[in-house]
Amino acid sequence: MHGPLMGRRVYLTGFEPFLKIRENPTEAIVQRLDGERFGDVTVASRVLPVAWEKTPSLLLEDLDRIQPALCVHLGVSGQAQVIRLERFAYNTIRSAFPDNVGAQPEEQPIEIGRPVEATLETPLPLAELLERLKVDGVPAEISTDPGRYLCNRAYYASLNRNQAPAIFIHIPHTDNRDPSGERWTLQRLRIGTESILRSLCEAHCDDPSRAAGLSEGAR
């Protein structure tokens, strides 16, 4: 059950560069937005390491320390043409390539005793958020596949803690273009992220009852 809104903060995360992504736009965005205010809610940002062992533990430590009203997690997708609102996190560790410290675990469940493809679902109403983004001119879609790498691992940790409503968002790389051919510049991605934060803070930090329950797929 979600507790009271302590500190009126939204926890915003991104990731450091990894593999061929030498400049991760999520890192720049969360650093730029750290300390920004949306109404009376303040952004508390963290650039997460790309490391199987450190990522979930650091995220959970932050949740205990920050006590956020809302969690928004960002990851970059090299294939995305639009911003992807991730509906599910999966109980799966799958590492097709090593993390930034060389770890490459074999495929396994995050939680032993649950099916490897069991899911946790965001409690936030993605359809409403999608409509808001369309009004703001931000190309977006709802996705049911966050991958099984560290984006999924961070999302699962956040939803499983069930401390605050959480959502994971995949943003396109700055080399990518939307379906109309317009490039996703860093400024454009930041504006899209701000639109998401503003919408969620207005709707759910001011009225926590709208996100009071956590829907779980196969639990």
Classify burial at 82, counting beta carbons within 10 Å of its beta carbon; exposed 0-12, middle 13-18, buried 19 or more: buried
Is residue 71 within 8 A of residue 167, CB to CB? The reply is yes
86 is annotated as an active-site residue = yes
61 is annotated as an active-site residue = no
173 is annotated as an active-site residue = no
Q: Check 27, 71, 73, 86 and give the catalytic one.
A: 86
Is residue 130 within 8 A of residue 141, CB to CB? The reply is yes
Q: Torsion angle of alpha carbons 58, 53, 47, 93, nearest 10°? A: -110
Q: Check 73, 170, 173, 204 and give the catalytic one.
A: 170
Strands 41-48 and 37-38: antiparallel
> Any bridge partners for residue 21, and if so which?
18
CA 192, CA 169: separation in Å to the nearest integer? 11
Q: Which residues belong to the active site? A: 86, 151, 170
